[in-house]
Amino acid sequence: MKLWGGRFTKSTDQLALEFQASISFDQKLVIEDIVGSIVHVEMLGAQEILTEEETKTIRDGLIMLLEKAKSGELIYTVEHEDIHMNIEKMLIDLVGPVGGKLHTGRSRNDQSALDVHLYTRRKTAELVESVVALSEAIIKQAENNVDTLLPGYTHLQRAQPVRFAHHLLAYASMLERDMGRLVDSYKRTDTCPLGAGAIAGTTFPIDRQYVQKRLHFANIYENSMDAVSDRDYIVELISALSLIMVHLSRLAEELILWSSEEFQYVELDDAYCTGSSMMPQKKNPDIPELVRGKSGRVFGSLVGLLTMLKALPLSFNKDMQEDKEALFDAVETSENCLVLMRDVIETMTVKKENMLKNIQQSYSNATDLADYLAAKGIPFREAHEITGKTVLYAISQQKYLLELSLEEYQQFSPIVQEDLYEFLAEEQVVEARKSEGGTAKIQVEKQIKQRAEYVDNIKKWLKTVQATQELIAF
């Protein structure tokens, strides 16, 4: 018989039972569910809603189930629908009818909300840790490649030369914002919903602050209807994960391009590539390609969740069960992508000579020719036109700008002198950009220091958060 079946005169249709059951996926919440139940029964005992003996019997039973859950010994059934009813049935089987008193003053609505808050809070910290690890791998590569030059691109055309470290640090900046969003979303997740009941609270003299403090939540929901219907914190996390996946996808695309024979800027480690079943010469960048593809999967979780929520009346509706699969999949997909991209970045080989060659065999120093002319007193718009004509001439002669003679330059502007050649040299072109945030060495080293300091601050936050969560022990 169902634990909620007193009102019903017939059994649930089997297909309907399987359709509405969530145990196939919400069993991921087993630890959170049991931990929340232990604290709930402790509170019932402290408030003398249950006797000391009842409290001890139920609590001891839950501790036994917790140990079995950690070792993977529990067996779940669809007949009991979800993780909450499965655990309660196991508890009753273990300690007898007194186990049914566990649910006093509680609904599955606030119980489920508590489980997801605990899960999301824990996973947010773990995700921050994964972003930190990837960021550190990027910063390390930047430190190793401060003097490595490569063409910078706009419209996927060679634009201006930059330091490879500068290019990598752009992704470190994106990840910095990602860490900030995750840390900020943690604040909304760190709110305790237990005690809200099904919708309107409970008639029992519960102590919500006891549960809040025991589970180390920073805040408590002040409105019971909001507590059981709020999914903003899940949307916020998946939104942050979607932006992380945008950044990973952009980085993945560059790794795919850079590792191609057309670019040959990097060599990806064999451990993160595969071959072709037909073409023996192939080395395919499968991990970056899959990261690029899985970004759409996380976006889908976000859109699906927003669509599910967009017209729901207060408070709880069964539709909200759909939040969990979206959350679990987005979290696990993002975690895997972050870990693998860290490994790819850490192990890749940078082909500095090929990067430099593509600078030298390009017109990416054309802007510097225009700047040279402008510095000599020619209005920039006129200098731009002169440079354009010079580049067109150089192309017709199958030469690059440093290969043109002084006489050839002077046919476009007599103001050009021998000092132009030093001005157009690739190292000078890069080093000349000393404006804040630019690609000159002093600015790149400053960026490395700034990114590293930010990561160190986030690691301090992580240490505090993880220490707090470790206090929840039984």
Catalytic residue IDs: 155, 276
β strands within 249-378, DSSP E: 266-267, 349-350
Token code pair at residue 439: 């690609």
| Alpha carbons within 13 A on the beta-carbon side of 413 | 23
For residues 97 and 361, give the distance between their C-alpha atoms in angstroms, rounded to a whole number: 81
Q: How many CB atoms lie within 10 A of CB 350?
A: 18
**Could you write out the DSSP letters of every residue in 56-104?**
HHHHHHHHHHHHHHHTT-----GGG-SHHHHHHHHHHHHH-GGGGGGGT
For residues 94 and 76, give the distance between their C-alpha atoms in angstroms, rounded to a whole number: 15
Q: Is the bond preceding residue 396 a cis peptide, omega within 30 degrees? A: no
**Backbone Cα Rg of the chain:** 30
For residues 82 and 74, give the distance between their C-alpha atoms in angstroms, rounded to a whole number: 13
DSSP H helices in 348-379 = 352-360, 366-375
- In this structure, are strands 266-267 and 349-350 parallel, antiparallel, or unpaired? antiparallel
Select from 127, 143, 237 the least CA-distant residue to 175: 127
Tokens 């502007």 belong to which residue? 413
Q: How many CB atoms lie within 10 A of CB 146?
A: 14
Q: How many CB atoms lie within 10 A of CB 436?
A: 8
